[in-house]
Amino acid sequence: MKTYDIDAEWSTSDLALLEDLKRAEALLPEDAPRALLSVRLSVLTDDTTSPVRQELDLRVLARDKGYRVVGVASDLNVSATKVPPWKRRELGEWLNNRAPEFDALLFWKLDRFIRRMSDLSTMIEWCERYGRNLVSKNDAIDLSTTTGRIMVTLIGGIAEIEAANTSTRVSSLWDYAKTQTDWLVGKPAYGYETAKKDGRSVLAINKDAHKALHWARRMALRGVSARRMAMCLVRSGLMSPGLTTATILRRLRNPALMGYRVEENKQGGKRRSRLLLGDDGKPIRIAPSIFTEEEFETLQAALDRRGKNQPARQTGGATQFLGVLICPDCSTNMTVQKTSHKGRDYSYLRCGKCKSGGLGAPNPQGVYDVLVADVLRVLGDFPVQVREYARGAEARAEVKRLEGSIAYYMKELEPGGRFSKTRFTREQAEKTLDKLTDELSAIDPETTQDRWILVHNGKTFREVSEEGGMEAMAEDLRRVGITCEMTRTKIKGVRAPSVHLRLKIPRDVRERLVIKSDDFAAKL
């Protein structure tokens, strides 16, 4: 397997063919159907068709069908099973925001485009909604015919079966690997690395990680906080920069450090690992232990003592405007941190990188209320616009009718024509011709094209925000790119700092506030 390199894959003959195809395309009429080419590949092997060949084959197909190529959506190293078309980086942009710019979506083979029947059904619905067609180079697919629709469903079913078989094989491999003492597949837990022994793949202890973990254990037994622990480990060079308290705690709580095989425990809302038991009901040993069972148990007890006073994490998150409130000094998000003391809970807004989280601002709700008031003061009266899709088919049909009528009257007004025989018929025909010409001139050329239009839904930003509450406003602010710098200033003799908020609003905020319906919002 290898990563695809665009510059390296185009040969001289490929480029020559590309130029020939572009010259042929230049001869097409202006109203030729427009084609978008979709090129996808998860991995490039000797058995797969390279993206260059896919693109050239699709350009030949477009030439044969009389399509003008308006773009190439190239999504490489992307799995069609895991990532549907509307979530791919390039193709997703075309589908979600550039639908008016093409008439047909061309792809090399259905399994290069889609591998799930549910995704295929979604794309067919999307094509029907926007009047687009799906065309395959190597499959009999054409949504404009009944046969083509039947074929796309049958081929899609085969592609899904193939993907399911692949998934089953992978799952079987993982299930088998979990029962073995050898290391067959996967990434080892922190503290271990793969090695070869007697031709077998085994796990060995990484010396630097072993030193870091035992150092962390000693700090935990002394009551050092996880935050302080992570800072010391990074400064010592034993662990990489960017180490978080969550990461160091997850590493220290992993039973794999005793040399046992583990699996992820997906219950409880936390990332934890649990022991896997063998047929004899005992843990499966796959590596030498970094911690003995006694050392591991005393470590867990120390971590529990340090963390027992922390209140449980809220399911939806404690910070209402996460990603909006920013520290101006370290440019990280402000988050709510909760502590308990003598039976009382305390909440503070702190940043991520300033020393000790910067000056903690108590009463997060008060900060939120000020932020909401500032936002509504600036944006409250903005009209909310909704992006809607407008078809140009009706206007195009009217233009065609008028042009045909005008051509008819012009021809019949020529000498020897039907309306040139008498003065009365000529005058009446000329009046009708003038009327038709005026009607044609009154049609805006833009309305003959499929396009996005903005429609005012009758509400202001204030009304929409009041209906949706803080969560809806926070989502809108993140979508638009509005942030708020939160400055905390120490006041002498006062424990709580002074808090000042400063909104940062993009210049094109009106355009960003436009609500764009998501055709794929309910799809997995």
Query: What are the domain boundaries of the chain?
Result: 6-168, 192-307, 325-382+454-516, 392-449
Rounded distance between C-alpha atoms, residue 220 and residue 229, angstroms = 8
Q: Which of 40-44, 69-73, 178-182 has the highest mean pLDDT?
A: 69-73
Mean pLDDT along residues 180-185 = 54
| Per-residue pLDDT at 172 | 53
pLDDT tens digits along 276-332:
666 666 777 778 888 888 888 898 888 888 765 554 444 444 688 989 999 999 999
| Per-residue pLDDT at 433 | 92
Secondary structure (H, E, C), 371-405: HHHHHHHHHCCCEEEEEEEECCHHHHHHHHHHHHH
- The percentage of residues in the chain with a pLDDT greater than 90, rounded to a whole number, is 25
Tokens read off for 255: 């039973």
Rounded distance between C-alpha atoms, residue 59 and residue 21, angstroms = 7
**Span 192-307 CATH architecture:** Alpha-Beta Complex (3.90)
Residue 147 pLDDT level (bands cut at 50, 70, 90) = low
Q: Which residues, in sequence order, are CB contacts of 455 under 8 Å at separation 6+?
A: 385, 386, 387, 388
Given a contact cutoff of 8 angstroms between Cβ atoms, the answer to whether 70 and 34 are in contact is yes
| Per-residue pLDDT at 99 | 92
| Per-residue pLDDT at 109 | 87
Q: Which residues, in sequence order, are CB contacts of 302 under 8 Å at separation 6+?
A: 217, 220, 221, 223
> Is the confidence at residue 506, as pLDDT, over 70?
yes
Q: Which of 34-43, 162-171, 245-254, 439-448 has the lowest mean pLDDT?
A: 162-171
Look at the chain and count its residues.
524
List Cα–Cα distances, 101 to 35, 59, 511, in angstroms. 9, 17, 20
Mean pLDDT along residues 226-245 = 84
| Per-residue pLDDT at 243 | 84
Q: Which of 228-237, 312-321, 504-513 has the lowest mean pLDDT?
A: 312-321
pLDDT tens digits along 100-146:
999 999 998 887 888 777 788 788 888 888 889 988 888 777 776 66
| Per-residue pLDDT at 250 | 84
Residue 234 pLDDT level (bands cut at 50, 70, 90) = confident
345 vs 269, higher pLDDT = 345
Rounded distance between C-alpha atoms, residue 142 and residue 159, angstroms = 17
215 vs 355, higher pLDDT = 215
List Cα–Cα distances, 442 to 31, 223, 452, in angstroms. 21, 80, 21
Rounded distance between C-alpha atoms, residue 225 and residue 247, angstroms = 13
| Per-residue pLDDT at 1 | 39
Task: Label residue 419 exposed, middle or buried (CB < 10 Å: 0-12, 13-18, 19+).
Answer: buried
> Is the confidence at residue 216, as pLDDT, over 70?
yes
Given a contact cutoff of 8 angstroms between Cβ atoms, the answer to whether 90 and 73 are in contact is yes
Where are the alpha helices (H) located in 361-480, listed in sequence order?
Answer: 364-379, 393-412, 423-442, 461-480
- The percentage of residues in the chain with a pLDDT greater than 70, rounded to a whole number, is 82
Given a contact cutoff of 8 angstroms between Cβ atoms, the answer to whether 262 and 189 are in contact is yes
> Is the confidence at residue 173, as pLDDT, over 50?
no
Mean pLDDT along residues 405-427 = 90
Rounded distance between C-alpha atoms, residue 213 and residue 239, angstroms = 10
| Per-residue pLDDT at 440 | 92
| Per-residue pLDDT at 316 | 41
| Per-residue pLDDT at 66 | 93
Residue pointed to by tokens 């809607």: 388
| Per-residue pLDDT at 68 | 94
| Per-residue pLDDT at 46 | 43
> Is the confidence at residue 499, as pLDDT, over 70?
yes
- Within 10 angstroms of residue 288's Cβ, the number of other Cβ atoms is 13
| Per-residue pLDDT at 174 | 46
Rounded distance between C-alpha atoms, residue 504 and residue 506, angstroms = 7
Tokens read off for 246: 């969550």
Rounded distance between C-alpha atoms, residue 255 and residue 519, angstroms = 44
Pick the CATH number of 6-168 from 3.40.50.620, 3.40.50.1390, 3.30.70.660, 3.30.1150.10: 3.40.50.1390
Adjacent-strand bridge partners of 388: 453
Residue pointed to by tokens 């000329």: 430
| Per-residue pLDDT at 73 | 92
Mean pLDDT along residues 390-411 = 91
Q: Calculate the average pLDDT of the chain.
A: 82
List Cα–Cα distances, 338 to 302, 307, 494, in angstroms. 20, 12, 20
> Is the confidence at residue 7, as pLDDT, over 50?
no
Adjacent-strand bridge partners of 452: 389
Q: The whole model's pTM is what?
A: 0.61
